[in-house]
């Protein structure tokens, strides 16, 4: 057999293997898609894509076992629910609530974990998710007895302060913005605009307050009072949590909790944090205090396909409907928030 024939056989073998692999993948995808027929959400396909790129389990797969480590928990961006669907073509940028909840669960079961750092860079977010993560980390603290430290980066406001209150010690960078202890619910009265456009909102309701907060109608005094009662209840809980975490009285916290922000220096002076450190100084402090030099943080940069197709999706021009949806989301959803919107955003 000459050299040319050998190369031909090798090429044929490679083609055979590639075709075989493609055939298997195609059949598997077909099977998964078929199983999702009749389901508008395509959960069968999404489930398959989850298997392909691994989801949260893959993100946390490299967590150390058998070697002591301090877990870094990144709380970055707006605290909110994770996207409802996950596929090979989607990625979660910034805060990923589901991943963090699973991360803390896994840490509780990992005897090699010796403590936790909450690395905060957030304006806060929704009341529900902030409280859920706070309770999950509190469960970790109570079940394991392991220490928890907080390091605040560019900002840690509102819901970030809420979550940080579970920690044993809190530190910030010297240019950190923190505080904004309080609750906000936003909605808009667009009835004047509707009138100019000749639009009249008509709601068929079971009772007079069923459509309260609707953008097409002004709120009544009673409805404003109802919303205020919700805000007041969540505010009281927020103040109590900060008071417990910082060993302060509720009255002491309320004097600070009028929604204003604080610099790191002001936060130290008011007892909201324990000190100011650079990131390097903080890491060195934790290593010295814990006696553990190994830090672990999950890789949350996302998978290749999600990044690729996510970038393509971002370049697509939005339809008029999508622009309107974005507008309404920005105007206010009426959801209670522990949130401080950064200036310039």
| DSSP-derived 3-state class of residue 249 | coil
Question: CB–CB of 94/76 below 8 Å?
Answer: yes
- Measured N-to-C along each axis, helices 43-53 and 3-35 cross at an angle, to the nearest 10 degrees, of 140
Report the DSSP beta bridge partners of residue 157: 179
Report the DSSP beta bridge partners of residue 74: 119
Element (H, E) at 179: strand 177-179
Q: How many whole angstroms separate alpha carbon 281 and alpha carbon 297?
A: 18
Cα distances from 103 to residues 87, 115, 116, in angstroms, run 20, 13, 11
Q: Which two tokens stand for residue 194?
A: 């509707």
Q: How many whole angstroms separate alpha carbon 85 and alpha carbon 63?
A: 25
List, by residue number, the catalytic residues: 158, 210
Cα distances from 113 to residues 65, 72, 182, in angstroms, run 8, 11, 33
Q: How many whole angstroms separate alpha carbon 81 and alpha carbon 83?
A: 7
Q: How many CB atoms neighbour CB 86 within 10 A?
A: 19
Q: How many whole angstroms separate alpha carbon 17 and alpha carbon 267?
A: 63
- Exposure class string for 226-255: b at 16+ Cβ within 10 A, else e: ebeeebeebbeebbebbbebbebeeebbbe
Considering only CA atoms, which of 59, 49, 88 is closest in space to residue 313?
A: 88
| DSSP-derived 3-state class of residue 217 | coil
């Amino acid at each position: 057999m000459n050299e040319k024939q050998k190369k031909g056989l090798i090429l044929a073998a490679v083609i055979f293997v590639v075709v075989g692999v493609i055939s298997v993948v195609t059949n598997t995808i077909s099977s998964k898609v078929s199983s999702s027929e009749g389901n508008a959400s395509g959960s069968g396909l999404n489930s398959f894509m989850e298997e392909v790129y691994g989801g949260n389990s893959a993100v946390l797969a490299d967590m150390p076992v058998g070697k002591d480590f301090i877990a870094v928990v990144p709380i970055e961006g707006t605290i909110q629910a994770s996207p409802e669907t996950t596929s090979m073509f989607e990625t979660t940028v910034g805060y990923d609530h589901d991943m963090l909840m699973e991360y803390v669960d896994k840490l509780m079961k990992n005897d090699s974990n010796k403590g936790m750092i909450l690395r905060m860079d957030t304006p806060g977010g929704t009341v529900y998710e902030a409280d859920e993560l706070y309770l999950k980390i509190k469960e970790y603290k109570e079940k394991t007895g392991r220490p928890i430290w907080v390091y605040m980066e560019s900002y840690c406001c509102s819901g970030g302060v809420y979550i940080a209150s579970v920690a044993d010690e809190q530190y910030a960078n010297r240019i950190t913005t923190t505080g904004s202890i309080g609750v906000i619910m936003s909605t808009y009265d667009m009835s004047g605009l509707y009138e100019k456009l000749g639009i009249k909102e008509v709601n068929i309701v079971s009772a007079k307050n069923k459509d309260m907060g609707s953008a097409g109608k002004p709120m009544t005094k009673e409805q404003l009072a109802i919303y205020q009662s919700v805000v007041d209840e969540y505010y009281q809980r927020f103040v109590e949590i900060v008071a417990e975490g910082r060993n302060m009285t509720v009255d002491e916290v309320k004097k600070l909790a009028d929604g204003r922000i604080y610099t790191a220096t002001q936060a130290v002076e008011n007892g909201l944090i324990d000190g100011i450190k650079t990131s390097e100084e903080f890491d060195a402090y934790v290593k010295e205090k814990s006696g553990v030099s190994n830090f672990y943080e999950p890789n949350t940069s996302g998978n290749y396909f999600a990044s690729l197709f996510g970038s393509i999706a971002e370049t697509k021009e939005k339809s008029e409907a999508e622009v309107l949806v974005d507008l309404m989301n920005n105007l206010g959803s009426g959801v209670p928030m522990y949130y401080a919107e950064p200036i310039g955003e």
